Amino acid sequence: MPIHEKSLIRPENLITNDSLVIDGVDVSGHWSTFIKSRTITDYNEAMEDEISALPGGENIHRCWQCGSCTNACTVNAVNPDFNPRYWIYLIRQGLEEELLRDKDIIWQCVSCNKCTYACPRDVVPEGVMKATAHWLELKGHTPKSPSTHFDEGFTESILATGKIEEGRVLRTFFQRTGQPLNQPWLVALVGGLVKRFPLGYLIRMGWSTVFRPRTSNWSRTGRAIEEYVSERRAEQAKALGLDTEGGH
Amino acid sequence: MAGDLKKVAYYPGCALEGTGHSYNRSTKEVGKALGLDLVELKNWNCCGAMEVKNVDPQVQTYLSARNLTIAQDMGFDTVMAPCNGCYHNLKKAEYDLTHNPQAAQVTERISKKAGHKAYEPGGVETIHALDWIKHGVGEEELKQRAKGKLAGLKVANYYGCMYTRPRHIFPEKDQGPGSESTSKPHFMDDILAAAGAENVEFPLKTACCGGAHSLSDSDISTKLVLNILTTAEACGAEVIATECPTCHSGLEMHQVRAEKVLGRKTSVKILYFTQLLGMALGLSAKKVGVQENLSDPSEFLRLKGLG
Q: Do A228 and B43 touch (CB under 8 A)?
A: no
Rg for chain A, CA atoms, rounded: 24
SS (H, E, C) A166-219: HHHHHHHHHHHCCCCCCCHHHHHHHHHHHHHCHHHHHHHHHHHHHCCCCCCCCH
- The ipTM of this complex is 0.93
Neighbour-count burial of A8, counting CB atoms closer than 10 A to its CB (0-12 exposed, 13-18 middle, 19+ buried): middle
pTM of the model: 0.92
Q: Do B213 and A149 touch (CB under 8 A)?
A: no
**Fold (CATH) for B138-303:** Rossmann fold (3.40.50)
- Closest Cβ–Cβ partner in A184, A224, A232 for B113: A224
Q: Within chain B, which residue ranges are assigned CATH 1.20.1050.140? A: 7-128
Beta-carbon pairs below 8 A across chains A and B:
171
Closest to B38 (Cα-Cα) out of B108, B132, B179, B106: B132
> Which CATH number applies to B7-128: 3.40.50.10490, 1.20.1050.140, 3.40.50.720, 3.40.50.80?
1.20.1050.140
Mutation target among B17, B47, B51 for the A interface, most CBs of A within 10 A? B51
- Closest Cβ–Cβ partner in A56, A113, A188 for B165: A113
Chain B hits for A237, CB-CB cut-off 8 Å, are none
Domains and CATH numbers, chain A: 6-35 (no CATH), 47-142 (1.10.1060.10), 146-235 (no CATH)
Mutation target among B163, B216, B301 for the A interface, most CBs of A within 10 A? B216
Q: Do A215 and B43 touch (CB under 8 A)?
A: yes
pLDDT at A205: 64
Q: Can you tell me the distance from the alpha carbon of B74 to that of B93, in angstroms, rounded to the nearest whole number?
A: 19
Q: Do B21 and A163 touch (CB under 8 A)?
A: no
The low-confidence residues of chain B, meaning pLDDT below 70, are 1-3
Distance from CA of B234 to the nearest CA of A (A): 20
Nearest-by-CA chain A residue for B208: A112
Chain A hits for B226, CB-CB cut-off 8 Å, are none
Chain B hits for A184, CB-CB cut-off 8 Å, are 260
Q: Within chain B, which residue ranges are assigned CATH 3.40.50.11810? A: 138-303
Which pLDDT tens digit goes with each residue over B121-158?
999 999 999 999 999 999 999 999 999 999 999 999 99
Which pLDDT tens digit goes with each residue over B174-208?
999 999 999 999 999 999 999 999 999 999 999 99
Give the mean pLDDT per block of 10 residues along chain A (248 residues): 66 85 85 81 94 96 96 96 97 96 97 97 97 97 94 92 86 84 77 67 65 87 96 95 64
